[in-house]
Amino acid sequence: MIKPTCEDTFLLKKRNLKNRYFAYTFRPYTQVKKCKPGHFLQLQIPQTDIFFRRPFSIAGVTPAGDIEIIFKIFGKGTALLATLEKGDKVNLLGPLGVPFTLPKKNEKTILIAGGVGFPPLMYLAVEMIAKGYDPKSIEFFYGGRTTDDIIEKSRIKKLGVNFHPVTEDGSYGMKGLVTKPVEEFIQSSDTNMRIYSCGPTGMLKAADSLGLKYKIPGQLSLEAPMPCGVGICLGCVKEKTDGGHARVCCDGPVFEIGEIVL
Ligand SMILES: Cc1cc2nc3c(=O)[nH]c(=O)nc-3n(C[C@H](O)[C@H](O)[C@H](O)COP(=O)(O)OP(=O)(O)OC[C@H]3O[C@@H](n4cnc5c(N)ncnc54)[C@H](O)[C@@H]3O)c2cc1C
Ligand code: FES
């Protein structure tokens, strides 16, 4: 278990990705070497009276000490976050949570991303490739309502993974819900597979069901309200399938397929 730090950093780079999405790079961050895909940060919204920090998955790190998040404006906190400018100071608590476990080298990796669940899966793909996994062993399924919901298309393509964008209105990639082509892929493949998913609850439920139905192991990264982020307040508790309970912030946010009642 990593001991998190609480430290000030500065907004180094701000990219407006359109459709209310922003990519922020902060520097310096002393914990970059400890960060792993699936970890998240609790970010204090600066210059406001907002008391609770907001959780964001780590989207990537660099050896130079940069850390990136990608967020979508959702409510008051993220709207204020979007007004920050280069050089503004931000306080980060992290890295927090249990990260993803990397797949076995002989497994096909199926990433199922949706909405703001895409950043930790992109980080997972980058980490796997850096560790010598063949990019072509990664199937990156990414679902959204329209083409505007599929963020960082060219960045994902550049990774060399098998990219499968899916939109509900068919404006980009395949038409429909992302889990349909995932199921078709699973049915047509006879190799060992592992599923990783992060996104809206409906999508996570479908990914969980696919894993259980086809006996494919994998992990899901969950969201929950996170007042403290460090296991104290019990504001993030979910029911487990074995009858127990888990805190999403510190027992997760990454859980095994079949572990949590979704
Ligand atoms: C592990 C994790 C990773 C995430 N990663 C990303 C990401 O990479 N990109 C992204 O865009 N979004 C991400 N999110 C979602 C993001 O945290 C929310 O969109 C953001 O908190 C919304 O804040 P807001 O102030 O804009 O919205 P608001 O609706 O104004 O506020 C929501 C906040 O209120 C708090 N809250 C809600 N209900 C309760 C409650 N019952 N008790 C106490 N507090 C409560 C929560 O802390 C929540 O953050 C992630 C969430 C989690 C849990
Ligand atoms: S957010 Fe407080 S216990 Fe998880």
Pairing of strands 218-221, 193-198: parallel
Residue nearest atom 6 of ligand 1, based on CA coordinates: 56
- Please work out, in degrees rounded to the nearest 5, the angle formed at the alpha carbon of residue 52 by the alpha carbons of 50 and 56: 110
Q: Is 114 in the pocket of ligand 1 (CB under 6 A)?
A: no
Burial tier of 66 (Cβ tally within 10 Å: 0-12, 13-18, 19+): middle
| Inter-residue contact 220 to 133 (CB < 8 Å) | no
> How far does the centroid of ligand 2 lie from the alpha carbon of residue 96, in Å?
11
- What is the pLDDT of the chain when averaged over all its residues? 96
Q: Which two tokens stand for residue 44?
A: 């204090």
Listed residue (179, 182, 258) closest to 220, CA to CA: 258
Which DSSP string do the residues of 65-79 spell out, in sequence order? Answer: S-EEEEEE--SHHHH
- Is the model's pLDDT at 262 over the cut of 90? yes
pLDDT in tens, 221-257: 999 999 999 999 999 999 999 999 999 999 999 999 9
For 84-126, write each residue's pLDDT tens digit.
Answer: 999 999 999 999 999 999 999 999 999 999 989 999 999 999 9
Please report the atom of ligand 2 found closest to the CA of residue 229: 1
Between 51 and 86, where is the model more confident? 86
d(CA 38, CA 59) in angstroms, rounded, equals 9
Mean pLDDT of 35-53: 92
* Residue 186 confidence (pLDDT): 97
Single-letter code of the amino acid located at 131: K
pLDDT of the residue at 63: 86
Residue 50 has pLDDT above 90, yes or no: no
- Name the segment(s) of the chain with CATH classification 2.40.30.10: 5-96
Question: How big is the CA angle at 184 (ends 178 and 187), to the nearest 5 degrees?
Answer: 140
**CATH of the domain spanning 108-256:** 3.40.50.80
pLDDT at 49: 83
Q: Which residues pair with 11 in a beta bridge?
A: 26
Q: Above 80 in pLDDT, residue 35?
A: yes
Spacing of C-alpha 114 from chain mean position: 9
Q: Dig out the tokens for 141 from the structure.
A: 């399924």
Residue 125 CA, distance from chain mean position: 11
Query: Where does ligand 2 bind, in terms of residues with CB under 6 Å?
Result: 226-229, 231-236, 247, 249
Q: What is the pLDDT of residues 125-149, one digit of tens each?
A: 999 999 999 999 999 999 999 999 9
The CATH architecture assigned to 5-96 reads Beta Barrel (2.40)
Q: Looking at the chain, which residues constitute the CATH 3.40.50.80 domain(s)?
A: 108-256
Q: What is the pLDDT of residue 261?
A: 97
User: What pLDDT was estimated at residue 47?
Assistant: 77
Express as a percent the part of the chain with pLDDT over 70: 100
Q: What CA–CA distances, in Å, run from 175 to 88, 167, 172, 188?
A: 41, 5, 8, 19
Mean pLDDT, residues 179-208: 96
Given the CA of residue 55, which atom of ligand 1 is nearest to it? 17
Sheet holding 89-96, edge to edge: 54-57, 40-44, 89-96, 5-18, 21-27, 67-72, 60-61
Q: Is 74 in the pocket of ligand 1 (CB under 6 A)?
A: yes
